[in-house]
Amino acid sequence: MGPVRGLLASPLVLDGLLALLLAGEALASLSPAAPVAAVALTLAGTLCVTWRRRAPEAVLTLTSIAFIVCQAMGYTNPSLPFAPLVAIYTLAVRRRPSISVSTGGSAAVGVIAGSALGETGINDDLLLDYPLSLVAALTIGYGVRVGRKRAELLEAQSVELAREQARRTERAVEHERARIARELHDIVAHHVSVIVAQAGAAEVVFDRQPHLARQALASIATVGREALVEMRRLLGVLHPYGKSVEQSPMPGLDGLPSLIAQIERAGLPVQIAVGGNRRRLPAGVELSAYRIVQEALTNSLKHAWPTQARVVLCYYEDFLELCISDIGHDGDPPPENVARQNEGRGLLGMQQRVALLGGYLAAGPAPDRGFVVTARLPVGDGSL
């Protein structure tokens, strides 16, 4: 039944059935004395409706000529010119208004003139019905054309909206992946750096001062647990059943004392100073500020060697200013030291965080010795 139903629903088959109906109606209106030529012309003028969608101008021309000739010769006197009406409607649907109005109007005038001037003439009722029906066919066809064009436009807009939504979703996924990558880097780089520093310190004092070695090992355990907690929180965002995974709050500036304590236990003394009216800032600013301080202190711990660092937070009305500096290594740098300009993802991560907030970041060697990271993070709607 499927193929048969599809065949019956095809436009060509439907138009063929319509053409047969029009042919039957036209033959029924022929007079009994109509010659074979009139019958053949009537059949040609109606059965051609089968191809009305493919060649509407040719079909309208043929149907109009057949109707006008039969009317003029007095072989037929139908109530309405059904075949020309269908042809005019199809032309209005398939072609531009300029073409359908000019061609359809000419055909309509010809049909009306042929009927009025034929041998049988045209009565007063038909004289009114013919123009109205032809104009109605043209108007309805134009309305259908406008409706289809509007539907096509709406469909195109829907497709474009779907594509734009897909692009936005893709950009959001990329941003989220970048954010997760930054978070993973900050968590892993910081905690592993602290663990490495503590392990090195424990190895140095293991024989001479075992109590200090035990303190270092205890600090390693603490830092490892904190790293696991943060990793579990971050992975909970990626979990398909994230609500069932324990998630701790995102770190903020309130967590700086704990962060600095970690760094100091690893062997880098840190001074902190706060200026301005300290207050709660937006979560994104708090997290970015915490991560910038964390990354800068981690780099100081890795590259400056245990000397001294300083963290300054200044609260302004429109932005938060961070300044993290160290005094550098006094003497020859350790063998594993690398240049600050080539720190890899650390500095890049800080730049990305600041750029997302519309802020400002500067990082480079201090005038005398050491390294300085300065960041300004806007706390309002606008950027700096």
Residue type at 247 in one-letter notation: Q
Average model confidence (pLDDT) across the chain: 78
For residue 335, the model assigns a pLDDT of 41
**Domains contained in the chain, CATH given:** 2-122 (no CATH), 253-384 (3.30.565.10)
- The amino acid that residue 50 corresponds to is T
* Residue 184, pLDDT above cutoff 80: no
Q: Are strands 270-276 and 309-315 parallel, antiparallel or unpaired?
A: parallel
Q: Could you tell me what percent of the chain has a pLDDT over 70?
A: 76
φ, ψ of residue 19 to 5 degrees: the values are -65, -40
Distance CA 294, CA 339 (A): 19
Which pLDDT belongs to residue 295? 86
Name 68's Cβ contacts closer than 8 Å, sequence gap at least 6.
Answer: 110, 111, 113, 114, 115
Nearest to 250 by CA among 208, 199, 289, 212: 289
The rounded radius of gyration (Å) of the Cα atoms in the chain is 43
* Nearest Cα residue to 312 out of 304, 303, 321: 321
Query: Residues 296, 204, 218, CA angle at the centre, nearest 5°?
Result: 65
Burial class (CB within 10 angstroms; exposed 0-12, middle 13-18, buried 19+) of 153: exposed
The answer to whether residue 328 scores a pLDDT higher than 70 is yes
Q: What is the mean pLDDT of residues 159-173?
A: 84
Beta bridge partners of 179: none
Global confidence as pTM: 0.47
Q: Is 251 helix (H, G, I), strand (E, B) or coil?
A: coil
